Amino acid sequence: PWSWGLLKTTVFHNASSRTMEGLALLRDLRTHAMDCSTCKIRFLQPWAHQGLTPKQWQGLETVLHDYLCVSLPGIHPFVLQASIGCELHPNGTSRQFCDAAVNGKDFISFSVDEGTWVARHRHKLALISRDFLNQDKSATAMAQFLLRTTCINELKSFVQYGKESLERQGEAGSPPPSGTPALVLLVCRVTSFYPRPVRVAWLQDGEEVAAGWRLNSSGILPNADLTYQLRSSLAVGPGDGHSYACRVQHSSLGGQSLLLPWGHSRPWGPGLAVGITLGALAIAAVVVVLWWRIRR
């Protein structure tokens, strides 16, 4: 199915301070982003403004801010994560979703069919939030309309206007060339780092591996404890004679790079995962072997 959705993370440091970031995706293609300080929508594709007028986009910014930047009393600091969007299936059916989590745990969701908010568990705060949101009938009706109608119309528009961009992305992320033997996947997982900026790269024989089908990254994702994580993987041929290393650059390293090698000194297994935990002042490195083989 085609899908378009917004992933939004807001970190509430205290009752008056928060940071926010949002990213909208058409399948895996980035279409929009939300400014951390102003909740303004930024268009990441030349066709990403299609389907709505400037005034309608401004109204959507307001709705997202009002719904997803509301603080919760008494639990600071906390992280609010939201996933909002819709899917369109080949048979013409559709599905809409609007789910929110607090500190990594399911919290509340919106039932499009019923037009009501539903608590995802029996926690008192979730029940209070559900009842509070359901009091505003005009707002729930607007949410229902945005998901049922606006989201689907936008999705159809983006599929039409963004077809060329999607095809180019498919070429960049294409599978291994025909005839490529079974591969080994090296995985470098960096987690618990703060602040957010980080750079992770793979080195082959000391040289950085260029972007291509061999590389894949999760992007920077939030943890429930206000830190971040990222996973980067590299597909290699088993016993290909090269040496490999994962290189991490982060402000907590004091200007240095953290290098975790994997080369001739270690026997080849079907796969390797390197787990790296970055603290604000210290670093711990852990190596774990994963038996993970990729086959064509």
- Range with the lowest mean pLDDT among 13-22, 124-133, 156-165? 13-22
> Has residue 122 got a pLDDT over 90?
no
- Range with the lowest mean pLDDT among 24-33, 50-59, 106-115, 256-265? 256-265
pLDDT score of 111: 95
Fold of 2-170: 3.30.500
pLDDT score of 68: 58
Quick: pLDDT tens for 200-215: 999 999 999 988 888 8
Average pLDDT score over the chain: 78
Quick: pLDDT tens for 77-100: 878 888 899 999 988 899 999 998
In the chain, the percentage of residues whose pLDDT exceeds 90 is 21
Quick: pLDDT tens for 162-201: 877 777 655 444 555 555 556 788 888 888 888 888 999 9
Q: Domains of the chain: which residue ranges?
A: 2-170, 183-294
Integer Cα distance of 250 and 60 in angstroms: 35
What is the CATH architecture assignment of 183-294?
A: Sandwich (2.60)
